[in-house]
């Protein structure tokens, strides 16, 4: 079980080489297969996640959540997807058509790109970049541009307000997000995600870096535009924020991308802090799934409990609280590492 997927990949390569392909060509085919797998994983995950989110919200509100279609309402999301596909695709006449159309596509592409560096199990990583964490953060920050494109392109005041909010928010929270990961990177001594997982063989970084975990979690919530930091969408204020003018599948793509981001960031959190794929008894890829889903459940739990924070509080919280705390954390971590090194550890 442990090497189930690796074995599949290996036998695929062997078979391809047997067909007379060079090893480079076989690798290329494998890469394509991996990409298809990622897209499939993303879509299935989103279908499950939307269902899960509705169920979680339902249970918290003492309801049942979706329960009509399929076992425990499992197929509700699929029905919704079909509904969205058949909806009329409306583009406002005053919209900037190119930007309006491309924004959701870029958004989902960027979301899928995040998966390249995530280790989904022991040795299950598409590319083991030696700057994996850096890659992740920089790609994740690109999604701001898509929201801005959506807001600007729709030519709607609500959308523009949502887009401006998202830019302000994402830029402010990128910094604490990166800073809180720095502590982990310093301890692991590497930017590569597989090295960081390997460094957690004995002890998870959540124990060594509890403050960093909390700040990371808060900053990630803001990065993901999830409640209580769902400023760009802010249903009760901005109707639907940057997505106001989107209909049908374009809107669904935004939705898809948001959940894809959620999975990616949760997977990153479990990789950086919760020991990645390490865990007893079960195969490594099951462990990462369990941990990712646990993190996501906490995200949902927070979203359905808290009211939305106010824009200026959001900004001042980032600049006045999160960034100083993360900086202090880096300082303490660095001092600790030096001290322990001096002790001869």
Partner 1 sequence: MLRTEQFTINIGPQHPSTHGGLHVEAVMDGEFIVDAIVHLGYVHRSVEKIAESRTYPQYVPYTSRLDYLASHLPTLGYCQAVEKMLGVAVPERAEYIRIIMAEFSRIASHLLFIGSCAIDLGATTGLIYCLRDRERIMDMFEMTSGQRLIASYMRIGGVSEDLPDTFIPAARSFIADFPEMIAEYDGLIIGNEILQARLKGVGRLNADDAIAYGVSGPNLRACGIDYDIRKAEPYGIYDRFDFTVPLAENGDSWDRLLVRMEEMQQSIHIIEQALNQLPEGEVKAKVPRIIKPAEGIEVYHRIESSKGELGYYIVADGGEKPYRLHVRAPSFINLMVLPMISKGGKLQDIIANIATLDPVLGESDR
Partner 2 sequence: MKGQGLLKGLYITLKRAVGKDITIQYPEQMPYLQDRFRGCLHFDYTKCIVCGLCTKACPNNVLSYESRQVEGSKKKELVSYTIDLQYCLFCNLCVEACPTNTLYFTHDFELSRYQRDQIKIVYEIPKEEPSAVKVDLKGDAPEPDETKKEKQLAAMTAALQKNPQKTVRKMVENDEDAEILAGILLEDEQKLSRMAALMIADREKAKKVAVAFVNKEKKDRLKGGGAEDESK
- Nearer to partner 1 by Cβ, of 205 and 229: the residue is 229
CA angle 227, 229, 235 (to 5 degrees): 65
Q: Where are the beta strands (DSSP E) in the chain?
A: none
- Cα distances from 67 to residues 51, 64, 209, 265, in angstroms, run 10, 7, 41, 29
Which tokens belong to 328? 């202090």
Q: Stretches 20-28, 32-40, 188-196, 227-235: which one binds partner 1 (CB under 8 A)? A: 227-235
Query: Which of the ranges 60-68, 219-227, 278-286, 332-340 carries the binding residues for partner 2, by CB under 8 A?
Result: 60-68
Residue of the chain from 1, 20, 24, 62 that contacts partner 2 (CB under 8 A): 62
Kindly report the CA angle at 198 between 30 and 13, in degrees rounded to 5? Answer: 15
Contact (Cβ atoms closer than 8 angstroms) between residue 329 and residue 215 = yes
67 binds, among partner 2, partner 1, none (CB under 5 to 8 A by kind): partner 2
Give min distance, CB of 298 to partner 2, in A.
9
**Residue 308 binds which of partner 2, partner 1, none (CB < 5-8 A, kind-dependent):** partner 1
Q: Which residues of 197-207 are buried (b: 16+ CB within 10 A; e: fewer)?
A: bebbeeebbbe
**Euclidean distance between CA atoms 48 and 247, whole angstroms:** 22
Per-residue binding string, partner 1, 61-100, x by CB under 8 A, is xxx-------------------------------------
Q: How far apart are CA 104 and CA 240, in angstroms?
A: 15
Terminal CA-to-CA distance of the chain, rounded, Å?
37
- Determine contact, residues 152/160, Cβ cutoff 8 Å: yes
Under the binding rule (CB under 8 A), the answer on residue 250 touching partner 1 is no
Query: Minimum CB separation from partner 2 for residue 301, in Å?
Result: 6
> Is 234 among the residues that bind partner 1 (CB under 8 A)?
yes
Q: Using CB under 8 A as the criterion, which residues of the chain lie in contact with partner 2 when the complex forms? A: 56, 58-64, 67, 301-302, 304-306
Q: Using CB under 8 A as the criterion, which residues of the chain lie in contact with partner 1 when the complex forms? A: 57, 60-63, 157-158, 161, 164-165, 227-228, 230, 234-239, 304-313
């Amino acid at each position: 079980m442990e090497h189930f997927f690796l074995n599949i990949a290996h036998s695929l390569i062997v078979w391809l080489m047997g067909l007379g392909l060079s090893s480079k060509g076989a690798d290329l085919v494998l890469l394509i297969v991996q990409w298809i797998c990622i897209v499939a994983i993303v879509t299935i995950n989103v279908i499950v996640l939307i269902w899960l989110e509705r169920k979680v919200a339902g249970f918290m509100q003492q309801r049942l959540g979706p329960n009509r279609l399929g076992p425990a309402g499992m197929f509700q999301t699929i029905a919704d997807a079909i509904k969205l596909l058949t909806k009329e695709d409306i583009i406002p006449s005053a919209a900037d058509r190119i930007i309006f159309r491309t924004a959701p596509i870029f958004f989902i592409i960027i979301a899928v790109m995040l998966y390249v560096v995530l280790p989904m199990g022991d040795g299950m990583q598409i590319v083991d970049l030696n700057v994996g964490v850096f890659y992740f953060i920089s790609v994740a920050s690109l999604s701001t541009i898509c929201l801005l494109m959506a807001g600007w392109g729709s030519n709607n005041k609500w959308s523009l307000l949502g887009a401006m909010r998202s830019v302000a928010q994402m830029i402010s929270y990128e910094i604490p997000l990166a800073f809180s990961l720095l502590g982990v990177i310093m301890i692991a001594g590497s930017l590569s995600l597989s090295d960081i997982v390997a460094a957690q063989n004995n002890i998870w970084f959540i124990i060594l870096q509890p403050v960093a975990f909390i700040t990371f979690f808060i900053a990630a919530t803001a990065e993901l535009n999830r409640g209580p930091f769902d400023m760009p969408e802010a249903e009760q204020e901005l109707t639907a924020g940057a997505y106001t003018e989107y209909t049908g599948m374009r809107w669904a793509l935004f939705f898809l991308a948001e959940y894809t981001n959620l999975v990616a960031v949760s997977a990153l959190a479990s990789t950086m802090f919760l020991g990645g794929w390490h865990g007893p008894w079960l195969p490594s890829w099951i462990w990462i799934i369990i941990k990712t889903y646990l993190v996501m459940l906490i995200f949902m739990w927070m979203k359905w409990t808290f009211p939305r924070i106010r824009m200026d509080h959001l900004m001042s919280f980032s600049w006045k609280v999160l960034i100083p705390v993360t900086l202090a954390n880096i300082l303490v971590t660095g001092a600790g590492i030096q001290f322990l090194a001096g002790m001869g550890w």
